Structure 1
Amino acid sequence: MKKQWWHDKVAYQIYPKSFYDTNGDGIGDLRGVISKLDYLKDLGIDIIWLSPIYPSPFADQGYDISDYYNIDPRFGTMHDLEELIAEAKKRNISILLDLVVNHCSDEHEWFQKALKNPTGEYGRYFYIREGKDGKEPSNIRSYFGGSAWEQIGDTNLYYLHLFHKKQPDLNWENPVVRKEIYDMINWWLEKGIAGFRIDAIMNIKKALPFHDYEADREDGLADCRAMLNENDGVMEFLKEMRDSTFRRYHAFTVGEVFNEKKGDLSEFIGEDGCFSSIFDFSQTVFGASEKGWYDNQPVTPDDYRQCCFNSQKRAEGIGFLSNIIENHDEPRGVSRYIPEGECSDEAKKMLATLYFLLQGIPFIYQGQEIGMENVPFDSIDQYDDVSTLEEYRVAQLNGLTNEQALEAVRRYSRDNARVPFQWDSSENAGFTKGTPWLLVSPDYPANNLKRQFTDPDSVFHYYKKLIALRKSEEYKDTFIYGQFIPAYTDEERVMAYYRIGEDQRILIIGNFKMAEQEIKLEQPYRKVLLHNYETVSGNGTSLLLKGYEVVVLEL
């Protein structure tokens, strides 16, 4: 594999609205990110991905962009971003922006012009179609519920929005639109950013002409993914974008790709792939139900292990996946993958180790490094997230009581990850001196960075050790480029694998349950590289793993 500058990096996602507020308006800002750069450098971070900071009406938390060339005043100014890029560079930290080009905001000037003349030049920037028989052009359902078509005034014309109705889809079939997008990407790369996280990119190619699909719910609509599964030709757009933009700047790009087709992975992340990497979402989509969150099946420890191992095998010899346990669109990983009632600092450290040392680029989401958990929201009125509100409604429509519907969305809501970062035990967890835009998790007095910073056995300090181990001169080639081989797959609730380098063999093994388990080693170990307990129990040929114990051994 040809070595790239980003292979040995550790990335960190910041959700700016909830990271750190410096002006007391209850919303995190760019100056807050600047003020925490030394913290991130000390943690061991090399790449920061900022969720959207562009001007937006915030119908979908900034993923509805009204101006691609500016900064939303809630976050600061262009000067603040330029200072952030410069200060990060001094610390050898690269900045990624969120690239949202499947759709824009209905308040973007392109769409406003399209509304004035739907059949004119700007109308062709979007998918505007005539209704049929007094109804929408097709029966596809948006990701956020309801028809993916919105009527334009009292006309027989509709525009397509696969997400919120305030997020009209851009027409990638129009070469003028694509050029506008590429010019914008290059403008940002010229500013000195290192690349992009690329949002919802598989949606840019539609199966045309639009038509109806077999309904999958009583609303008579079909999941829009039925259309996306039928499309063909998205790779032509992605490669054109790569050649017109990213490749010219040696940019790092990581795609949000949920549904690449079998055998296509090399076209995404291979030597000549359209992206540097794509996220591994195999665990986050496991158990998802077409009916809605209320019908999702929980991910068991053995399910989690199989998802990870399948992905590693899928990417073997092709390229690097980006590995996560959570992000701004998911609940907290420790609440999702550690069975209910079993979450502890030991379990959090174990989960961190098992995902972090897989082959690929490890991403940490803000607060993950202190083990932030899901939030016990008391009422549906406390939620801000549009998808959570829709899933609550879907659960009610399917016969769940209000309390049952609330419990269903508590487990999966995106707002679990969007609550403010817990800096200390002062009011509002030290996030803001104003009123926070979203409630602060009530566990912040006990679980916050300041408290963990002074505790050498904390989750935070364990993450520092984990990052340092992956970067260590002695072992980094094995952790970054070494072979991945699953181990002990017949053992229930044990997740283990080898990373094998030219002259090293390292075993990562975790006991994914509270009861002890004895594991016979295939060969003796000579050194413990990392451990989440004080001592390792065993006799050289076997390990007695305590509950949620994880060990990294050089054999």
Structure 2
Amino acid sequence: MKRKWWHDKVAYQIYPKSFLDTNGDGIGDLRGIISKLDYLKELGIDIIWLSPIYKSPFVDQGYDISDYYKIAEEFGTMEEFDELLAEAKKRDMYIVMDLVVNHCSSEHEYFKAALADPDGPYADYFYFVKGIDGKEPSNYRSYFGGKAWEPVPGSDKYYLHMFAKEQPDWNWENKEVRDKIYKMINWWLDKGLGGFRIDAIINIKKDTSFPSYEPDGDDGLVSCVKMVEETDGVGEFLEEMKHETFEKYDAFTVGEVFNMKEDELREFVGDDGHFSSMFDFSALELTYGEHGWYDSKPVDFKRWREILFASQKEMEGIGFKANIIENHDEPRGASRYLPEYAQNEMGKKMLATTSILLRGIPFIYQGQEIGMTNCHRNDISEYDDISTKDQYQVAIDAGCTKEEALACCYENSRDNARTPMQWSADENGGFSAHAPWLAVNPNYKEINVSEQEGRADSVLSYYKELITLRKSPEYEETFVYGNVEPVYEDTDTVFGFMRMGKENRQKILVAANYGKEAVSLPLPGTAKKLLLSNAGRRKLADADHITLESLETAVVLLKA
């Protein structure tokens, strides 16, 4: 495997709207991000991914872009963005932006031109398709629920939107569209951007005959995912985009890739893959309900462990995935992956260890490093997220009570990750002097950066230790390039794996007890040194065995 500049890096995702507000309007901004670069540097962060900051009506929180060349006024100015790039560079940090090119906003100038002339050239920048017998061209359901086709006023055509109706899909079959997208990407890379996180990218390849399929719901519709899964050829677009843009700059790219064909992994993230990396969403799939959030399942520990190890195994000799336990589209990892008895500081440190020391690029989401959790709401009106409102209604329509529907939103809503960053115990968690755009989680008085910065045994302090260990010259080769070898798979509660150095023959054990009871385990070798513990212990009592209390984690260097 070719070695790349980004292999040993640790990344951090910022959701700008909720990170830090410096001008008192209740919305986070670029100036807030600039002011916290030293905080992130001290944490050990190398790459900062910003969720969309482009000009947008914010129907889908900025993933509906009306102008790819402008910064949304809510976040600041292009001059402030340039300052952010410069200040990050001073600290040897890289800025990565969201690249949203499956769709744009219905407020984009090209879409407005298409609506004005449904038979003109700009209509072919999108999918303007004639209806069939006065109805939609096919029976697709959008990702956010409801029909994926919207009537074009004053014509017999419909336009395709796989997300909200305000997010029309770009027609990637049109070379003019692709060329304009590539020009825009290069414009940002010329500024000094480190790369991109690439949104919903599999969706760019459509079957342009737009066939209908057997309905998968009572609404007579079928998920638009079906059409994507039945379509081949997305790789041609992705290779062209890479050659025309990223490759020229040695840019870091991480794909949001769902619905990839089984044999395509090497094509996506191998040495010559479409992207540098892609997010590991394997664990996320464990939470899917058959019909929606209301029948989603709690995470089964043994299945979770099994699926993560399988994902690690398939990447051996191919490339790196990006490892996450939460992001802006998911609930908080501490609330999802930890049983109730483990949703405390010991448990959060344990979860961090078993994620960050896996092979791959660690991605930390803002607030994860202090153990932020899901947030209870009393009414659906307190939610902002378009997807949450849709799933709440799905639950109600399925016969759930209001309380049951709200409970499934508490467990699954994207707003759980979008509540304002908890900087201090001050009003609004120190996020803003003004009422925030989304109410802060009430537990900010107990869980916040300020309190944890002054405490050596805090979750934040542990994250710093963990990242320092991963980057330490003595062990970095093993943590970055060493294989993962699962151990203790015959136990019901232990998440254990070895990191096996290839060239240096180093062996490091990571073992975590997710159970309620203590476990005694034979070490898979002779202990040489205890590298890290979330229980404050400094050394092992025995060179051949280890006893882990409930929620205890140990990282042990073994004799080669």
Band the TM-score falls in, shorter-chain normalisation: over 0.9
Q: Aligned letter for 2:556?
A: L
Contact between 2:115 and 2:153, CA under 8 Å: does it hold in 1?
Answer: no
**C-alpha distance in structure 2 between counterparts of 1:503 and 1:132, whole Å:** 65
Aligned to 2:521: 519
State how 1:129-278 maps to structure 2 within 5 Å: 129-278=129-278
Q: What is the deviation of 1:537?
A: 6.1
Aligned to 1:65: 65
Aligned to 1:510: 512
Contact between 1:422 and 1:449, CA under 8 Å: does it hold in 2?
Answer: yes
1:539 correspondence with 2:542: yes
* Residue aligned with 1:264, SS: helix
Q: TM-score if structure 1 supplies the norm length?
A: 0.99
Contact between 2:270 and 2:319, CA under 8 Å: does it hold in 1?
Answer: yes
Q: What is the deviation of 1:154?
A: 4.6
Q: What is the deviation of 1:380?
A: 0.7
Unaligned runs of 5+ in 1: none
Aligned to 2:98: 98
Runs of 4 or more consecutive aligned structure 1 residues displaced over 3 Å after TM superposition: none
* Residue aligned with 2:443, SS: coil
Q: What is the deviation of 1:263?
A: 1.5
Contact between 1:26 and 1:436, CA under 8 Å: does it hold in 2?
Answer: yes
Assess, with a 3 A threshold, how the Cα gap between structure 1 residues 342 and 483 changes in structure 2: closer, same or farther.
closer
**C-alpha distance in structure 2 between counterparts of 1:221 and 1:513, whole Å:** 43
Q: What is the deviation of 1:314?
A: 1.3
Contact between 2:54 and 2:68, CA under 8 Å: does it hold in 1?
Answer: yes
Aligned to 1:287: 287
* Residue aligned with 1:282, SS: coil
**C-alpha distance in structure 1 between counterparts of 2:379 and 2:392, whole Å:** 11
1:398 correspondence with 2:401: no
Deviation digits for residues 272-329 of structure 1, max 9, x if unmatched? 1010000000011223124111111111221221121011011111000000000000
* Residue aligned with 2:378, SS: coil
State how 1:358-377 maps to structure 2 within 5 Å: 358-377=358-377
**C-alpha distance in structure 2 between counterparts of 1:189 and 1:485, whole Å:** 38
* Residue aligned with 1:443, SS: helix
Deviation digits for residues 40-71 of structure 1, max 9, x if unmatched? 11111000000000000000000000000010
Q: What is the deviation of 1:539?
A: 2.8
1:383 correspondence with 2:383: yes
* Residue aligned with 1:226, SS: helix
* Residue aligned with 1:65, SS: coil
Q: What is the deviation of 1:102?
A: 0.1
Aligned to 1:333: 333
Q: What is the deviation of 1:140?
A: 0.7
**C-alpha distance in structure 1 between counterparts of 2:341 and 2:65, whole Å:** 40
Q: Aligned letter for 1:192?
A: G
**C-alpha distance in structure 2 between counterparts of 1:403 and 1:165, whole Å:** 29
Q: Aligned letter for 1:129?
A: V
Q: What is the deviation of 1:522?
A: 2.3
Deviation digits for residues 87-143 of structure 1, max 9, x if unmatched? 000000100010000000000001000001112110000011111122111001000
Unaligned runs of 5+ in 2: none
Q: Aligned letter for 2:369?
A: E
Q: Aligned letter for 2:514?
A: F
Contact between 1:537 and 1:544, CA under 8 Å: does it hold in 2?
Answer: no
Contact between 1:44 and 1:468, CA under 8 Å: does it hold in 2?
Answer: yes
**C-alpha distance in structure 2 between counterparts of 1:446 and 1:406, whole Å:** 24
Contact between 2:26 and 2:432, CA under 8 Å: does it hold in 1?
Answer: yes
Aligned to 1:117: 117
**C-alpha distance in structure 1 between counterparts of 2:154 and 2:289, whole Å:** 36
Aligned to 2:471: 471
**C-alpha distance in structure 2 between counterparts of 1:151 and 1:222, whole Å:** 18
* Residue aligned with 1:68, SS: strand
* Residue aligned with 1:286, SS: helix
**C-alpha distance in structure 1 between counterparts of 2:341 and 2:410, whole Å:** 15
Q: What is the deviation of 1:340?
A: 2.6
Aligned to 1:126: 126
* Residue aligned with 1:237, SS: helix
* Residue aligned with 1:95, SS: strand
**C-alpha distance in structure 2 between counterparts of 1:233 and 1:405, whole Å:** 39
Moved more, 101-110 or 148-157: 148-157
Q: Aligned letter for 2:323?
A: N
Contact between 2:151 and 2:159, CA under 8 Å: does it hold in 1?
Answer: yes
Moved more, 535-544 or 191-200: 535-544
**C-alpha distance in structure 1 between counterparts of 2:249 and 2:471, whole Å:** 25
* Residue aligned with 1:444, SS: helix
Q: What is the deviation of 1:2?
A: 1.2
Q: TM-score if structure 2 supplies the norm length?
A: 0.98
Contact between 2:118 and 2:155, CA under 8 Å: does it hold in 1?
Answer: no
Contact between 1:300 and 1:339, CA under 8 Å: does it hold in 2?
Answer: no
* Residue aligned with 2:38, SS: helix
**C-alpha distance in structure 1 between counterparts of 2:238 and 2:554, whole Å:** 41
Q: Aligned letter for 1:339?
A: P
- Count of residue pairs brought into register by the alignment: 555
Moved more, 88-97 or 332-341: 332-341
State how 1:14-93 maps to structure 2 within 5 Å: 14-93=14-93
Aligned to 2:484: 484
Moved more, 514-523 or 319-328: 514-523
- Among 544, 548, 553, the alignment partner of 1:550 is 553
Q: Aligned letter for 1:230?
A: E
Q: What is the deviation of 1:388?
A: 0.1
Deviation digits for residues 137-192 of structure 1, max 9, x if unmatched? 10010000000001112532110000000000000000000000000000000011
Give the RMSD, CA atoms, in angstroms: 0.9
* Residue aligned with 1:450, SS: helix
Q: What is the deviation of 1:426?
A: 0.4
Contact between 1:538 and 1:544, CA under 8 Å: does it hold in 2?
Answer: no
Moved more, 259-268 or 418-427: 259-268
Contact between 2:530 and 2:540, CA under 8 Å: does it hold in 1?
Answer: no
**C-alpha distance in structure 2 between counterparts of 1:186 and 1:36, whole Å:** 28
Q: Aligned letter for 1:552?
A: V
* Residue aligned with 1:48, SS: strand
Contact between 2:14 and 2:366, CA under 8 Å: does it hold in 1?
Answer: yes
Deviation digits for residues 500-525 of structure 1, max 9, x if unmatched? 11231000010011211111222221
* Residue aligned with 2:364, SS: strand
Moved more, 499-508 or 273-282: 499-508
Contact between 1:421 and 1:429, CA under 8 Å: does it hold in 2?
Answer: yes
* Residue aligned with 1:263, SS: helix
Assess, with a 3 A threshold, how the Cα gap between structure 1 residues 207 and 289 changes in structure 2: closer, same or farther.
farther
**C-alpha distance in structure 1 between counterparts of 2:217 and 2:483, whole Å:** 45
Q: What is the deviation of 1:538?
A: 4.7
Contact between 1:55 and 1:65, CA under 8 Å: does it hold in 2?
Answer: yes
**C-alpha distance in structure 2 between counterparts of 1:483 and 1:382, whole Å:** 45
Contact between 1:497 and 1:509, CA under 8 Å: does it hold in 2?
Answer: yes
* Residue aligned with 2:527, SS: coil
Contact between 1:512 and 1:548, CA under 8 Å: does it hold in 2?
Answer: yes
